Chain A
Amino acid sequence: MSAYPGQEGLRTPLKVARGLGSSKTGVHHWWLQRVTAVALIPLSIWFLFLLGGMVQADYGAVMATIGKPVHAIFLIIFVVCLFWHGALGLQVIIEDYVHTRWLEMTLQIALRFGALLGALACVMAVLAVWLTGAAYY
């Protein structure tokens, strides 16, 4: 047993005293990354087929393809999972390699805004095509 109160395993007493232990959110991050990954397995395979079907398609055919309700809904789910999974991954990359505190915080905040912006832009674009695309088929 440890000679210091609160110390277990390899954690130093100083770390316990400063309260800089686990922030208790790592497991949540881990699970979200796995859940979005599982969702992206069928979605990305479906997305590849969707793209394959759009090779050499003209604008009208593209609008008709994206605007199909089933395609539009799955595209929305796909881009939300894509940006979520990507943001979770990039967050870890920044945590691992950027050690200058102000730069790390700036990048982490910019990443969250960027991912939200990208996902929102995609969702709104799909909705716009969905609502106007009826004219193309």
Chain B
Amino acid sequence: MPTTRPLSPHLGIYRWRVNMLQSTLHRLTGLFLCLGALLVTWGLIAAASSGKAWDIFAAFCTSLGGLILLFLWTWSLLFHLCNGIQHLVRDSGRGFGPPHRDRAFDPSYWKAGWIVIAISVVLAVLVFVLLVLRMGGGAT
């Protein structure tokens, strides 16, 4: 049904800001983490099935493609976690509202977005460095 009612302006008219990147990444990482939930399901069912099934799962996880996916899942989880915490804080109304989007009034509002992204990347790299060290060290 064609409508003659006015439409809200689309994304193109807005100046790009970090919260748009956060919002997009939050949704994309959430979507990707849903696939990760399937990997968790695979792993648990493999463990419940047999040692052979678990070995197939473990072989996938330690393959190059598996490790790349695991790194992406680790970062996705950590970004979704960090950004989700910021989301919850702002859901509570703390530091949220039109005045806070004014750089002069609250310069930390936009900075916080970059900090969330930076922390998630640093944590993901840290987790993976520790993981590779553990793998290399042959720890039990």
Contact = CB atoms under 8 A, between A and B. Distances in A.
Interface of A: 12, 34, 37-38, 40-41, 44-45, 48, 52, 55-57, 59, 61-63, 66, 75, 79, 82-83, 86, 89-90, 93, 118, 121-122, 124-126, 128-129, 132
Contacts of B34: 86, 89-90
Nearest to A67: B47
A59 B45 contact: no
Interface residues of B, number: 33
B139 interface: yes
Interface of B: 5, 27, 30-31, 33-34, 37-38, 40-41, 44-45, 47-48, 51, 54-55, 74, 77, 81, 84-85, 87-88, 91, 127, 130-131, 134-135, 138-140
B30 A55 contact: no
A48 B40 contact: no
B37 A66 contact: no
Contacts of B33: 86
The 6 A-B residue pairs whose C-beta atoms are closest, nearest first, are A125-B44, A125-B48, A128-B48, A59-B51, A86-B34, A125-B45
Contacts of A129: 44, 47-48
